[in-house]
Structure 1
Amino acid sequence: MRIFIAEKPSMARELAKCLPPPQHKKKGFIETGDGIVTWAYGHVLQQAEPQDYDIKYKTWKAEDLPIVPKEWKLLVSPNSKEQFQTICNLITQADSIINAGDPDREGQLLIDEILDYVGNTKPVQRILLNALDEKSIQESLADLRNNSDFLHLKESALARSRADWLIGMNLSRAYTLAARRQGHRVVFPIGRVKTPTLALVVRRQRELDHFVPVEYFIVKAVFIHANGSITAQWQPKDTQTGMDSEGHIIEEKAAQALIDRLHNNPSGVIQERKKTKKKEAQRLPLSLSSLQVLAGKRYGYDPQQVLDAAQQLYERKLTTYPRSDCEYLPCNQWKDRSSIIRNLQSNQAGKLSEWTEKADLSIKSRAWNDSKITAHHAIIPTTVFCDFSKLTSLQQHIYYLIAQSYIAQFYPLYEYDQTRILVEAASELFVAHGKVITVLGWKELYTSDKNDVEEEENDDGLPVVKKGDTVVYQDGLVDKKTTKPPSRFTPSTLLAAMKEIYKYVKDDSLKKKLKEVQGIGTEATRATIIDELIKRKFLVEEGKKRYLKPTDNAYLLVDALPDEMVYPDETAVWEDRLYKMSEGKDQLASFLQDQIIFLEKLVARAREVKIVSKNMNKDQKICPQCGAVMVLRHGKYGDFFGCTMYPKCRYTEQMTAPLKEEEKKYKCPRCHDGYFICRTSSYGRYWVCSEPACNTTCSDVEGKPSIFAK
């Protein structure tokens, strides 16, 4: 008897339908004529908490950090105990087992960890279900793999899980404790992906807060050629006066001086005419991230809404696996194009039917490429007909985008002629550009959407010229422009930034390498991370476009952490190593050892970090010796202010109320600013100067400070 263990009940039901009858649904599994299908509920096993390793860790203490398990523990999720027992019972009865987790590293791990937990020694195969329609499932059943072929994929997921635990559990405690020692009542949720993501928004907001618009000027000149006029823009030399470091002319008189020179010397010559034929390949089909970004721009949906809708379409067999990070298709999908296009042709949703009429099924775009496929492929429609009337508005929009990108694969390349003319006049260079579309091709599907692809227009209007032709300056103008601030992040554009994290690294030398990494986080977790930052009030959404703005606690956290945690460089390098591990090119033990070394360094820094709020209370005391915040403490001899960097800094200030006139009898002879006031301790009465910086003390003699006693 063989047992299929699916990742979730919906997948199990569809898989069971494709197995031979008879089929009998039982509690926690389905019997079929070719084996039993059971299911998990995602991760039925979860990482143990620190207190599960040792009860002392239930109380957060800096001296216990870092916490590094010698042997990693998993616990059965309380909500999955009954189903987990069902799976265990079935494993004991099985002759062979089939891992039917989702076709990604997490799907591989969550079934494998069950098998490892129970100590399974029976043979295990792997089924890769990229779609849940019957045709796709039957093809997958006919192509079962050896589960051991995916060992490296499991190790990659395990490395990610344990690294997240080490960083999250330890640094969240270390920096939360540091903040509390310094008077901040906050819990810092620190994560190797979450924190650099939050820092992206904080840095962008600071750019906006400090942005000062700069006026600059461009010069446009009209030259007359025998065959017509040319409007060209001045290209200032690097040595041009009145220019800033960005290459903008910021002095209007410098721009106007050029116009005057052209009036005085209007003769010019064509230095270059270059015409280039250009082609642009079809936009690739959609991964989850590209779908989330596209749906956010076009419809304003947040990433989690898009993921939920894509999952619902998948479970209804209308589209393929949604949590895909791949934008390519396997060559064996090519044979399904006719039935998919035929279904879309009879679909009355928007322009889908109209577009399919022009689709050329003989065109094979770059999307079909087996070398680009891992465990899954791009999200596309299945061969199952989609009745739009039975979908919600959100589902309709998501299906529409998926279908649109698929149809585009059967349109020609976008082709155009690009012309560049370079004019020399008054010892300066001017450039004019022209463009003529020769084949609109696949962009026909996108030109009407201004939020997606800018409408393509023929924009040439340039006369036929050749190098060496003379031209004469006719007219010109100085056009005033203003620099624009960077765009604020929305959930969709922040998700895009996570995927294209190479653009935001601090070390430019990493950019080329990290461009291949697929960003930080996974397709399935990016939306969840952004959502969590909003729910935990580190980010807030503003306005109809849902712009993201950091809260005070976000600034507090980002400013407290070292660059290794707030810039994506380190995290992106980890993602690169995880990817290599999935291909067998890195080792789990080596990766985790490096994480522990990194962790120990950051925990040590947390003990010395100064955490100062961006909007600090005006009455907040600052230590005059080290600059850290001082907090009110309760001592044996009364209340006092203590430095939060104790024991490194032991500076204190006695807490005193404003002195009454009758208390100003004895002026301190040392500082000449304070007055001696009487205190009582367990050893008797004594006198202390009211000025904290002086703090001179003396004994009591007959009700007076000893300094003043006869």
Structure 2
Amino acid sequence: MKKVIIAEKPSVAKNIADALKIKNRKDGYYDGDEYLVTWAFGHLLQLYDAKDYDEKMVGWRMEKFPFIPNEFKYKIKCDGYNRNIVDKGAEKQINLIKSLIDRDDVDGIISATDYDREGQVISDELFIHFDVKKPIYRILLNEWTEEEVKKGMANLKLNSEMKPLQDAGIGRQLADWVIGINLTSVATLRYGGTGKDRKVINIGRVLLPTLKIIYDRDKEIENFESSSYYKLAVNYKSKDNIEFETLYYENSSEKFEKKEYLDEISKILAGKSGVVVHKEIEKKREYPQPLFNLSNLQGYITSKYKGWTSDKVLKVAQGLYEKKFITYPRTASTVLEESLEDKARKVLENIKKGLPYENQVKFVKSKRVFDNSKVESHSAITPTYVIPKGLSIDEQNVYNAIKNRFIMQFMPVAEFEETKITIKVNDEKIPGEFIAKGRVEIVKGWRVVEKIDTKDTILPLVEKGENLDVTSSKVNKVTKKPPKHHTEKTLLRVMETCGKNFKKEKEDKDESSDDETNTEEMMNAILSGFSIGTPATRAETIKRLKDIGYIQTKGKSLITTELGRTIVEIFPAKELLDLEYTGRLEKTLSDIEKGKYQKVDFLNLIYDFTKNSVEKIKSDDSLLHKFKVEVPEGLEEVGKCPVCGNPVVEGEKSFGCTNWKNGCKYTIWKEDKYIASFGKAVSKEMVQLLLKNGKVGFRNLKSKKGNTFSAYFKYEKNEETGYFNWSMEFIK
């Protein structure tokens, strides 16, 4: 008997076939004595469209939403160019997989899709669609080298053990469908315009909070108020005639508001000398940045090389993974599982051969590299023992970054001396002190791997008690700069942590500086699952925001477009713009994966949120003024609608806004019970005055006690209910 192995992609199927020494390739699969190895092309199935459940959903109508099916169904995915027809390649492959599973000589199936939430769903949705009854097993690998494939085949799990991962994957899939279909539809109907000019307003669980991050930074820059301060730079000369620069400090600060004060000190310094009152030399050690996870790799590459996007980095890394050159790239971890010690040693021995610093590379097991407590599903990205050949330039850039970061972990620690010299001038008008800081590299260590240049300030040899002459002084004006626009590098960082535990000042540093600052705090956020999206989807989210026109790039900067800004400002379901809310949803999915939370409870939360959000959008009138409607033929304009500015006309039973098709609810009923209770009727003249002045006055009104009085009536919207109500103001 045989087993069918289903890989996620053809390239991975070939790696498995090669490892199992299966040479016989047929149309759509490899045929071996014990195994039939076939493949998907990512998702071969997709969830039904709304119109597949109900043909009345073909034309979007506001009253049809919210729309949540009682049971979700899958179909063969649509053609990429024409959504009305089936993807022929997917249909052919699905039929082939089904025929292999149904063969009489097949007694089981092995799922060999990627070991993550999405990979689990890619195979499981097929098994659900086929209603497979034969035993299903799971191979869980972090790389597709021959050695690992054989080891994985010897340690298969039952696919039923992966139920929590399946629940998280399908829960994510259904949540995004429900939110996307419902909120995109009603938002497009409400805000997208009409007719041929209508724009689709895309709304998504991950799209909007990511857009909000970029919007917030844009607004911060826009509202930034420039300010300045002053510094006094003073040059001293050592006995060896070496000049060096110091900064003047008072109360531990070198920043001064008044230039005149520093100008005065500068004048006093002319011809003076100072004495070295303190000299401190401290030896420091500097460790390399940790191994790459996907977000850090994307940040590093997009920052270092022009024209790269996060999406491109992921695609290149995925290709290297499928070619067996690197481990699984879609990871959030920056450390390795402790069980990978022997494998890491083997990889290191292989890739260090021939390096100019080979003799400095020594395998050491440390908690900085191997730590089970900090691994989230997958270990960090590393090279495999397979040495690549024939890489493209793009592949070389990504592979070398991963290889170098791995090698750095097993190099000597970089060491340097940090010197701080404090100088005092003996003059009561100069109460502060002059400080110079410098640094000297003692051991290059891991820094030789990428030839990282330093711009260290090297100070001359001076001793405590030594007198130094002032050679020059200068007052410098420093203008505070606004924060920089987000780049893909900084955006990925915020998405990864939902902005938690991340000190903004680190973000504002020079873009050329290393990316993985604040690592420990970031890891804590990642380990809790509190993030936007997953390592696999963040790049896709950024790309989608560009594609749908919510953001644009300017150099490496990401900036919101007018459409993007408008969506953030007017979208009424504010939870979807909230980083913490979205982070909690992602945390819940992570908890489902771990068996701590039930899929059904998560989906009920999503359904309630969607229903409430649909109602908020339906009653939102913030953009109604953008629709311009002409007075229908044969009718006369009574006045302008106070909500949207379009004409109000008289109908048979009411006076109403002509913009009703786009959702304007402004209506005054002729037989209004409230007005009738005062013995009055709604007339054309009354409505004209109301629309012109915002209120209309009545005399001889009758109260319930029979008293007569005069009052102004206003017709105002209740913001909580969305409906208009009358209010009264007495005329004295």
TM range (shorter): 0.7 to 0.9
Match of 1:380? 382
Match of 2:480? 483
What secondary structure, in the 3-state scheme, does the structure 1 residue paired with 2:46 have? strand
Q: How does 1:7-156 map to 2 (within 5 A)?
A: 7-19=8-20, 21=22, 23-77=23-77, 78-79=86-87, 80-92=90-102, 93=104, 94-156=106-168
For the Cα contact (< 8 Å) 2:168–2:593, is it kept in 1? yes
More deviation, 564-573/90-99? 90-99
Pick one of 649, 665, 675 that aligns with 2:666.
649
For the Cα contact (< 8 Å) 2:640–2:648, is it kept in 1? no
- Is 1:572 the equivalent of 2:583? yes
Task: Pick closer, same or farther for the CA change 1:308–1:214 going to 2, 3 Å.
Answer: same
Q: How does 1:499-648 map to 2 (within 5 A)?
A: 499-502=496-499, 514=525, 516=527, 517=529, 519-542=531-554, 545-562=555-572, 563-612=574-623, 628-631=643-646, 642=659, 648=665
1:285-329: CA deviation from partner (whole Å, max 9, x where unpaired) = 222222222221221212222222222222322222233333323
Q: How does 1:344-359 map to 2 (within 5 A)?
A: 344=351, 353-355=354-356, 357-359=358-360
> In 2, Cα distance between the equivalents of 1:230 and 1:569?
49
Q: Output the amino acid matched with 2:114.
A: D
| TM-score, normalising length: structure 1 | 0.77
> In 1, Cα distance between the equivalents of 2:416 and 2:46?
55
Match of 1:329? 336
Match of 2:212? 199
> In 2, Cα distance between the equivalents of 1:469 and 1:166?
75
For the Cα contact (< 8 Å) 1:28–1:86, is it kept in 2? yes
For the Cα contact (< 8 Å) 1:560–1:610, is it kept in 2? no
Q: How does 1:303-322 map to 2 (within 5 A)?
A: 303-322=310-329
Task: Pick closer, same or farther for the CA change 1:256–1:43 going to 2, 3 Å.
Answer: same
Match of 1:693? 692
Q: CA deviation at 1:341?
A: 4.7
For the Cα contact (< 8 Å) 1:628–1:643, is it kept in 2? no
For the Cα contact (< 8 Å) 2:337–2:370, is it kept in 1? yes
Q: Output the amino acid matched with 2:334.
A: E
1:587-624: CA deviation from partner (whole Å, max 9, x where unpaired) = 2222222222333332232133344499x899999x99
Q: How does 1:451-462 map to 2 (within 5 A)?
A: 455-461=453-459
Q: Output the amino acid matched with 2:62.
A: A
> In 2, Cα distance between the equivalents of 1:267 and 1:27?
85
Q: Output the amino acid matched with 2:370.
A: W
What secondary structure, in the 3-state scheme, does the structure 2 residue paired with 1:630 have? coil
Q: CA deviation at 1:356?
A: 5.1
Task: Pick closer, same or farther for the CA change 1:640–1:336 going to 2, 3 Å.
Answer: closer
Q: CA deviation at 1:640?
A: 7.6
Q: How does 1:219-258 map to 2 (within 5 A)?
A: 219-221=232-234, 231-235=245-249, 249-256=256-263
> In 2, Cα distance between the equivalents of 1:269 and 1:608?
72
| TM-score, normalising length: structure 2 | 0.74
Match of 2:704? none
Q: CA deviation at 1:559?
A: 1.1
Task: Pick closer, same or farther for the CA change 1:587–1:625 going to 2, 3 Å.
Answer: farther
Q: CA deviation at 1:107?
A: 0.7
> In 1, Cα distance between the equivalents of 2:329 and 2:522?
28
> In 2, Cα distance between the equivalents of 1:39 and 1:591?
31
Q: CA deviation at 1:125?
A: 2.4
Task: Pick closer, same or farther for the CA change 1:496–1:695 going to 2, 3 Å.
Answer: closer
Structure 1: runs of 5+ lacking an equivalent: 241-246, 347-352, 449-454, 653-684, 697-710
What secondary structure, in the 3-state scheme, does the structure 1 residue paired with 2:533 have? coil
| Equivalences, count | 635
> In 1, Cα distance between the equivalents of 2:107 and 2:20?
17
> In 2, Cα distance between the equivalents of 1:89 and 1:551?
50
> In 1, Cα distance between the equivalents of 2:239 and 2:503?
52
Match of 2:445? 441
For the Cα contact (< 8 Å) 2:6–2:111, is it kept in 1? yes
> In 2, Cα distance between the equivalents of 1:432 and 1:400?
38
Structure 2: runs of 5+ lacking an equivalent: 78-85, 506-520, 632-637, 670-683, 696-732
1:8-48: CA deviation from partner (whole Å, max 9, x where unpaired) = 22211211222255x53333332212222222221222122
What secondary structure, in the 3-state scheme, does the structure 2 residue paired with 1:411 have? coil
More deviation, 210-219/640-649? 640-649
Q: Output the amino acid matched with 2:384.
A: T
Task: Pick closer, same or farther for the CA change 1:326–1:33 going to 2, 3 Å.
Answer: farther
Match of 2:699? none
> In 2, Cα distance between the equivalents of 1:581 and 1:182?
41
RMSD (Å), alpha carbons = 4.4
Q: Output the amino acid matched with 2:228.
A: E
Match of 1:164? 176
Q: Output the amino acid matched with 1:109.
A: V
> In 2, Cα distance between the equivalents of 1:423 and 1:580?
58
Match of 1:286? 292
> In 2, Cα distance between the equivalents of 1:499 and 1:279?
28
What secondary structure, in the 3-state scheme, does the structure 1 residue paired with 2:110 have? strand
Q: CA deviation at 1:689?
A: 8.3
> In 1, Cα distance between the equivalents of 2:396 and 2:9?
24
Task: Pick closer, same or farther for the CA change 1:373–1:206 going to 2, 3 Å.
Answer: closer
Match of 2:714? none
For the Cα contact (< 8 Å) 2:11–2:323, is it kept in 1? no
> In 1, Cα distance between the equivalents of 2:401 and 2:140?
25
For the Cα contact (< 8 Å) 2:179–2:204, is it kept in 1? yes
Pick one of 224, 227, 232 that aligns with 1:214.
227
Match of 2:495? 498
> In 2, Cα distance between the equivalents of 1:604 and 1:234?
62
> In 2, Cα distance between the equivalents of 1:538 and 1:600?
25
Q: Output the amino acid matched with 2:369.
A: A
1:36-81: CA deviation from partner (whole Å, max 9, x where unpaired) = 2222221222122222232333332333332223322222323223
Identity %: 28
> In 2, Cα distance between the equivalents of 1:319 and 1:644?
56
For the Cα contact (< 8 Å) 2:190–2:662, is it kept in 1? no
Match of 1:670? none
> In 2, Cα distance between the equivalents of 1:692 and 1:172?
34
